[in-house]
Amino acid sequence: MSKLAALTLATAAVLMTASPAGAADGTVGKRETVCAQDLFVRVTAPHGAWMGTLSRGQTFLVEEGGGDWVYGFAYGDINRRGWVQNGWFC
C-alpha cells in the first residue's frame, strides 16, 4: 500500500469517528441555545403532548436535567415551561 493510500485511509477513519460539532447536553441553571433545526417542547412529560417547537437559535433555560430529557422554560415563540429532548444545544 502506498503512503498516500495509507494516509487517505487514516484520515477517513478519523473523520468517521469524530463526534458531530455543535450539539451538547444542557446544563442545569444555564439558558441554552438550540442547535437543532426544530426541537419539540412537550407539556407534561417526556414523550408527552406536543406544546410547540423551538427553532435553531432560540433558547431554553434548563431547570431540571440529566438523562435523555430536560425540563425548563422555553423562550421564543412558546414562553412556557416544558420538556425537551436533551443533546440538541450549542
Average pLDDT over residues 54-81: 95
Greatest CA separation for the chain: 60
Note the pTM of the prediction, 2 decimals: 0.74
pLDDT of residue 81: 97
pLDDT in tens, 8-40: 333 333 222 233 355 799 999 999 999 999 999
Cα separation of 4 and 10, whole Å?
A: 10
Taking 70 as the threshold, does the pLDDT of residue 6 lie above it? no
Check if the beta carbon of residue 43 is closer than 8 Å to that of residue 82: yes
Segments making up each domain of the chain, as ranges: 22-85
State the alpha helices, DSSP H only, in the chain: 3-17
pLDDT of residue 4: 38
